[in-house]
Amino acid sequence: MTVETAAQVIDGKAFAAGLRGRIADAVPAFVAATGRAPGLAVVLVGDDPASAVYVGSKGKATVAAGMASFEHRLPATATQDEVETLLARLNADDAVDGILLQLPLPGHLDEQAAVAAIDPDKDVDGLTPVSAGRLALGIPGMVPCTPYGCLLLLQDRLGDLSGKDAIVVGRSILVGKPMGQLLLGANATVTMAHSRTKDLPALVRRADIVVAAVGRAEMVKGDWIKPGAIVIDVGINRLPPADGAAKGRLVGDVDYAEVAAVADAITPVPGGVGPMTIACLLRNTLVAAHRRAGLADPEGF
């Protein structure tokens, strides 16, 4: 008889709920010290329905944590100048601690220039060149929410990451690159893999920690995984609908069934990394608010 050991499921939804609760608990002390709530401004340009849903849920989570939410909508026809003028106004607004420019922007706009117009101290998405530079240099700054959420899940599971062999599959500015920097900062030995990497399965097989951020459904297979590894699946991919279904199933970049039979622990999709992203956005807003007010960073985040 073969006995398969199933991996533990890393419950990102529960972890994120706990983090959001701790953030909400920390808000009253900030209000008492400053006379105002931390504020997050979200800017949506155009009327992309998925972006509108994200912006709505970010606003609700902000208010639920006791923070002030400011939503700014510009039409799809907005000019670069209009977007940057709004960002400059938010940079100068003392009630605003965090600015999130919902991406993607309509095609006629210069996304990089718009992101770079955000004050790095309010850059709660961690996407400005200054934030990326601070992360690379290891000085305090704003860290992109999704990889920061992955780091929290890994540290919760493993404690100290020193000396662990980690591989990050994917090198995007949003996820892969900052994830690599965070793991390096936590003293892991980091391999960065991408579409030109040779013999990816062999590299993944060496790793104690696997972070998959590729955007390819179920690419990472069970026989790529070292027994006992921790697997963080950032991917969100929708499969084609099965017969008669209106929508296909959501899956990650990891073949969950195969990998769960080998790994020590794995994040599910949905319910793993996804919920951590908004929780870390609130965390970044709280931290940015403290730094802007000249207060010490809140403890435990």
Contacting residues toward ligand NDP, per CB under 6 A: 146, 169-172, 174-176, 193-197, 200, 213-216, 234-237, 273-274, 277
Whether 96 and 86 have beta carbons less than 8 Å apart is answered as no
Query: Which CB, 146 or 284, lies closer to ligand NDP?
Result: 146
How far is 201 from 247, CA to CA, in rounded Å?
31
Structure tokens that stand for 212 in this block: 């998959």
Catalytic residue among 97, 119, 121, 125: 125
Q: CB-hemisphere CA count at 13 Å for 67?
A: 36
Query: Which CB, 90 or 212, lies closer to ligand NDP?
Result: 212
Whether 255 and 273 have beta carbons less than 8 Å apart is answered as no
CB of 39 to ligand NDP, least distance (A): 23
Query: Which CB, 129 or 140, lies closer to ligand NDP?
Result: 129
Query: Which CB, 141 or 268, lies closer to ligand NDP?
Result: 268
Q: Is 34 helix (H, G, I), strand (E, B) or coil?
A: helix
Question: Which residues lie closer than 8 Å to 107 by C-beta, 6 or more apart?
Answer: none
CB of 79 to ligand NDP, least distance (A): 26
How far is 69 from 38, CA to CA, in rounded Å?
9
CB of 104 to ligand NDP, least distance (A): 11
Is there a catalytic annotation at residue 102? yes
Sign of the Cα torsion 168, 170, 174, 175 reads: negative
Query: Which CB, 50 or 246, lies closer to ligand NDP?
Result: 50
CB of 293 to ligand NDP, least distance (A): 29
- Tell me which residue of 4, 298, 15, 297 sits closest to 154, measured CA to CA: 15
Whether 253 and 216 have beta carbons less than 8 Å apart is answered as yes
CB of 49 to ligand NDP, least distance (A): 16
Is there a catalytic annotation at residue 13? no
Catalytic residue among 102, 121, 208, 255: 102
Residue nearest to ligand NDP (CB): 172
Is there a catalytic annotation at residue 125? yes
Which residues are identified as catalytic? 58, 102, 125
